[in-house]
Amino acid sequence: MKKIVQMFAIVFIASFAILFFIARLNASEGYSGDNTLTIYNWGEYIDPELIDRFEKETGIKVIYQTFDSNEAMMTKISQGGTTFDIAVPSEYAISKMKEEGLLIPIDHSKIPNLKYINPRFLNLSFDPGNKYSIPYFWGTVGILYNPEALGGKKIDSWNDLWDKDMKNQILLVDGAREVIGMGLNSLGYSLNDTNKDHLLEAKKKLDKLTPNVKAIVGDEIKMLMANEEAGAALVWSGDAADIMWENEKLDYVVPKEGSNLWFDNMVIPKTAKNIEGAHKFINFMLDPKVAAQNAEYVGYSTPNEKALEYLPKEISEDERFYPSPELTDKLEVYENLGKRMLSYYNDLFLEFKMHSK
């Protein structure tokens, strides 16, 4: 018995000694809380060259980590034990994190470059006054399609997906708000509709779509569309840009009835150790030239008005990714509908998935 206790004691002492040693080692290399900035971002969502430049300009060492879903990111931040200084959640995640007190307010006086952001993208319902978040990229939800595979068909409306000649041609992204939203939009209702009659009507309409739906998938949608596995897909504009870069035959359209407008914004989570550095980083990313370079690399739409001037015309004038003002007026941001309503959306989506052909 005594021996075992001794053994445990030795192991504990050894572990603490090692931890202490690592901390000392990191400090001697300048990796302490003040001098590092831990960024938690989506995969392939920044030009790595810009991180190097930021490190050189400020002398702050950047630790870059990635996540692949808002939920995974939120779980990791709320559980603690991490030291993320910057995170890039989507708009609905921001309002959730705000409610749960996971965010630190942003000091606008430290972000002079905020003036370059198009006011259209500021002061939105998910974060009034941009107290906690600064726009990083934005985009839409729309239809990616292959005109060749569909016999030269031109799609410009959600209702085109219900056509008989689309049988077994459509891939849907596995998201309740996106799919139910498509049903609502096709009927002319709002994406944030909470009227149960309207929602049931949308669900009924979606049931009629099932013969045309080939599959409801996740990230594989990129690979499947690039391989021309299906004729059309409901996707986010960012994914569409990626896929079109791989397969030039494909085209993307934001349907004329309107659609979703989404944001990924930079926030400073509660776990931040280097709040000063986080402000510096946000300001750096808003520099028009930096934003332009990043937008060109990532392929998403930048909210930075001044950056558009530095982008090649074929990008900044592409109406598929920078839609005209008339269409933009019809785009809606997802509102936080509350847990109860969201759960109702999810239930309807589950029923739709189970509706057999």
Partner 1 sequence: MKSNIRALYFLPYVLWILLFVVVPILLIIYYSFFNIEGTFSFENYEKFFTPVYLKMALSSFWYAFLITAFSLLIAYPTALLLTKTKHKQLWLLLIILPMWINLLLKAYAFLGIFGTYGIANHFLELIGVGAKQILFTDFSFVFVSVYIFVPFMILPIFNALEKLNPTLVDAAKDLGASPWITFRRVIFPLTLDGVKSGCQAVFIPALSLFMITRLIAGNRVITLGTAIEQHFLVTQNWGMGATIAVFLIIAMVIIMFLTGNRK
CB 35 within 8 A of CB 62: no
Give the residue with the Cβ less far from partner 1, 78 or 82. Answer: 78
346 scored as a contact of partner 1 (CB under 8 A): yes
Among 218, 249, 289, 309, binds partner 1 (CB under 8 A): 218
- Nearest distance, CB of residue 11 and partner 1, angstroms: 15
- Give the C-alpha distances (Å, rounded to integers) separating 112 from 52, 207, 277: 22, 50, 15
123 scored as a contact of partner 1 (CB under 8 A): no
Among 8-16, 135-143, 171-179, 315-323, which window interacts with partner 1 (CB under 8 A)? 171-179
Calpha distance 24→22 (Å, rounded): 5
Calpha distance 205→352 (Å, rounded): 10
7 scored as a contact of partner 1 (CB under 8 A): no
Buried b (16+ CB within 10 A) or exposed e, 56-95: eeeebebeeeebeebeebbebbbeeeebbbbbbbbbbbbb
- Nearest distance, CB of residue 313 and partner 1, angstroms: 36
Among 62, 176, 209, 298, binds partner 1 (CB under 8 A): 176
Question: CA nearest 352: which of 204, 189, 187?
Answer: 204
Token representation of residue 97: 């994190």
Amino acid symbol at 56: K
Among 215, 226, 315, 333, binds partner 1 (CB under 8 A): 215
- Nearest distance, CB of residue 85 and partner 1, angstroms: 25
Among 51, 104, 224, 327, binds partner 1 (CB under 8 A): 224
- Nearest distance, CB of residue 17 and partner 1, angstroms: 26
Question: CA nearest 107: which of 88, 78, 129?
Answer: 129
Token representation of residue 223: 């690979």
Among 33, 61, 83, 174, binds partner 1 (CB under 8 A): 174
On whether 44 is known to bind a ligand per the annotation, the reply is: yes
List the end-to-end C-alpha distance of the chain, in Å, as a whole number: 66
**x/- binding map, residues 236-275, to partner 1, per CB under 8 A?**
----------------------------------------
69 scored as a contact of partner 1 (CB under 8 A): yes
On whether 300 is known to bind a ligand per the annotation, the reply is: no
Among 214, 279, 280, 306, binds partner 1 (CB under 8 A): 214
- Give the C-alpha distances (Å, rounded to integers) separating 47 from 43, 56, 110, 297: 11, 15, 23, 6
Among 34, 55, 71, 148, binds partner 1 (CB under 8 A): 71
Q: What is the DSSP letter of 192?
A: T
111 scored as a contact of partner 1 (CB under 8 A): no
Residue for token digits 């776990």? Answer: 271
Among 18-26, 269-277, 326-334, 337-345, which window interacts with partner 1 (CB under 8 A)? 337-345
Calpha distance 162→124 (Å, rounded): 33
Residues at the interface with partner 1 (CB under 8 A): 1, 4, 69, 71-72, 168, 171, 174, 176, 214-218, 220, 223-224, 227-229, 339-340, 342-343, 346-347, 350-351, 353-354, 356-357
Write out the binding residues for spermidine. Answer: 44, 92
